[in-house]
Amino acid sequence: MDSRPFDVLLYGAGGFTGRQTVAYFAAHAPAGLRWALAGRHLDRLEAARAAAVGPSRPAQVLKADSRDRASVDTVVSRARVVLNTAGPFALYGDPVVDACVRFRTHYVDITGETTWVADLIQRHHARAAADGVRIIPFCGVDSVPSDLGAFLLVRFLRAQGVGCGPVKAAFRLRGGLNGGTVASAIQLFESGQAYRAQEPFLLDGPAAHTPEEVAASVDPLRPRWDADFGRWLAPFVMAPVNTRVVRRSAALAALAGEAYGAHFAYQEYLSVKSRLQASAMAAGLSVFQAALGSPARHLLKRLLPGPGTGPSEDVITSGWLRCDFLAVGEDGRKAYGLVRDTGDPGNAITVKCLCESALALAQDAARLPGGTGRGGILTPAVGLGDVLVERLRARGMVLSASSSPP
C-alpha cells in the first residue's frame, strides 16, 4: 500500500461537491499527504486545482471516466484511499467501488442511494470483509450525524453497563440543494427502485427481524407532538437513508460482538415549531415524492437545480444543522445526545464529514475500530467510529452524549 503514489484520490473532483473537497484538502490536508484529483474532464479538474488556495497542493490531475473501466482501474490502483463525489452513484459508482475491492483500496463517498448500496453489499461485502478493505458509503450529512449520534449514545449507556433500547432523533437545519442531489433522487425513481428504498432494514443483510420490529421501523408519515423534545415532529426527507444506515451499524456491531442492545431501534424526524408547520412539511414531502414518481418529475428537472450547480457561497456559509437524540436504556434510564455544526448541511458539513473520513482512513489506520483487519461495506460508525468523532470535534462539530438534556 505504501508504495502507491497517492494516499488519497479525490474522484469526481470537478463537480459541485468535488470542488469543495479540493478546497478542503488544500486548506487542511497535513504536510506530506500525497493527494491527487481524478474525473472525466481534465479542464474542470484543473480549474478546481487552480481555485483551491491553501498550504497543501494536489500532486497530480488524472483523467478517468467511469464509462471507461480501464481508466478507473488505473487511477484506483495508484491510491490507498478513494474519496468519491461522482454521483448519481447508481450511474457512475459501480466501476469505482468494483476497482477499490479488486485493488484493496479503501473507499468513502457521500451517496444517499440506499438501493445502490444494498446491491454493493450483495456483490462485495464478503470479499471486502475477507480482505480488510473498508468501503464506507454515506459519509456526508447522510448519514454521519445520525450514525455517530446513535453510536455515542450506545457507548454512553454501555459505559454504565446498560444496553441501548429505542433511540429517536429530531433534526433542525437550514441549507441549500445541490443539482447532484436532485439528479440522484430522480434517478432512484427513473430506475424503478424507489419501492425498495421503503424497506426499513434494506441494508441489514441476512439479519432476521420480527414483523413487530419491521412494523415499528417503517418511515413515519404523520406529524406528531413529542413530549420528550417539546417539539412537533414531521416526516424527514433524509430519514429513509439515515435510519437504514444506523440500523446497518447496529447489525454489523452485533456481528462483531459489540451489540447495540437486544431492543435497539432507531427512528428520526424533522423537528418544527408548530402543528401547522409539521402538517405542511408532511404534506409537502408526500406531494414531492408523488411528483418524483409521476411524469411531473420532468417538470421538476427543469425547475430544480441541475447537475454541476448548487447553492450560493452565502447559503453554504450561513447554513446550520442541529440534531437532538434521546435514547432509552434497557433499564428505562434516558440518555441525551446532540450533534450540531454550522454551514450548509449538504455542502459545508457534508464536505467536512467526507474529507475527515478519508483522512481518517489515510492517516489513522492503526486506530480504526476493529483493527486493520476490519473490512466490508461498512458504515461511518462501524468503519471509522471514535476516530471520526475526534476528527470532527477538532474541526468544530459538537457531538455529545450525556445523562441530561443539552
Ligand X SMILES: NC(=O)c1ccc[n+]([C@@H]2O[C@H](COP(=O)([O-])OP(=O)(O)OC[C@H]3O[C@@H](n4cnc5c(N)ncnc54)[C@H](OP(=O)(O)O)[C@@H]3O)[C@@H](O)[C@H]2O)c1
| Least distance from ligand X to the Cβ atom of residue 300, Å | 15
Binding to ligand X by CB under 6 A, coded x per residue (else -) over 280-309, reads: ---------------------------xx-
Residue reference for cell 458509503 = 137
310 interacts with ligand X by CB under 6 A: yes
CB atoms within 10 A of CB 270: 23
**Distance, CA of 98 to chain centre:** 19
Least distance in angstroms from the C-beta of 177 to ligand X: 9
Q: Are strands 134-136 and 376-377 parallel, antiparallel or unpaired?
A: parallel
Assess 176 for contact with ligand X (CB under 6 A).
no
**What's the closest the beta carbon of residue 216 comes to ligand X, in angstroms?**
26
Residues composing the chain: 406
DSSP class of residue 143? B
Instruction: Name every residue whose Cβ is closer than 8 Å to that of residue 308 and which is 6 or more positions away in sequence.
Output: 15, 16, 179, 180
How far is 390 from 388, CA to CA, in rounded Å? 5
d(CA 403, CA 406) in angstroms, rounded, equals: 9
Distance CA 168, CA 191 (A): 31
Q: Closer to ligand X at the Cβ: 335 or 339?
A: 339
Which segments within 241-288 are labelled E, that is strand? 265-272
Q: Which is nearer to ligand X, 10 or 328 (CB)?
A: 10
Residue whose CB is less far from ligand X, 132 or 305: 305
Contact positions with ligand X (CB under 6 A) in 5-24: 12, 14-18
User: From the CB of 346, what's the least distance to ligand X, in Å?
Assistant: 4
For residue 353, the minimal CB distance to ligand X (Å) is 8
For ligand X, the closer CB: 176 or 329: 176
Sign of CA dihedral 382, 386, 387, 389: positive
Q: Is 105 a residue that touches ligand X (CB under 6 A)? A: no
Nearest to 244 by CA among 97, 79, 115: 115
DSSP, collapsed to helix, strand or coil, labels residue 229 as: coil
Smallest gap, in angstroms, from Cβ of residue 308 to ligand X? 4
Q: Hey, which bits of 175-277 come out as E strands? A: 224-226, 231-234, 265-272
Prior bond to 77 cis, omega within 30? no
Cα–Cα distances in Å, from 217 out to 54, 158, 331? 45, 23, 21
Q: Where are the alpha helices (DSSP H) in 174-238?
A: 179-190, 211-217
Nearer to ligand X, 190 or 213 (CB): 190
Minimum CB distance to ligand X, residue 12 (Å): 4
Nearer to ligand X, 15 or 261 (CB): 15
What grid cell was written down for 84? 468519491
Closest distance of CB 184 from ligand X, Å: 4
Options 160-168, 173-181, 206-214, 319-327: segment touching ligand X (CB under 6 A): 173-181
- Residue with Cβ nearer ligand X (223 or 345): 345
Choosing from 145, 180, 343, 369, the residue that interacts with ligand X (CB under 6 A) is: 180
Q: How far is CA 107 from the centre of its chain?
A: 13
**Least distance to ligand X, CB of residue 372, Å:** 27
Which one among 22, 25, 112, 239 touches ligand X, defined by CB under 6 A?
A: 112
Least distance in angstroms from the C-beta of 61 to ligand X: 12
Binding range to ligand X, per CB under 6 A, among 27-35, 115-123, 138-146, 229-237: 138-146
What track of x and - describes contact with ligand X for positions 40 through 69 (by CB under 6 A)? xx--x--------------------xxx--
Whole-angstrom Cα distance, residue 356 to residue 249?
Answer: 19
- Angle, CA 373 vertex, CA 368 and CA 376 arms, to 5°: 90
Binding site for ligand X (CB under 6 A): 12, 14-18, 39-41, 44, 65-67, 85-89, 92, 110, 112, 140-142, 178-181, 184, 307-308, 310, 346, 350
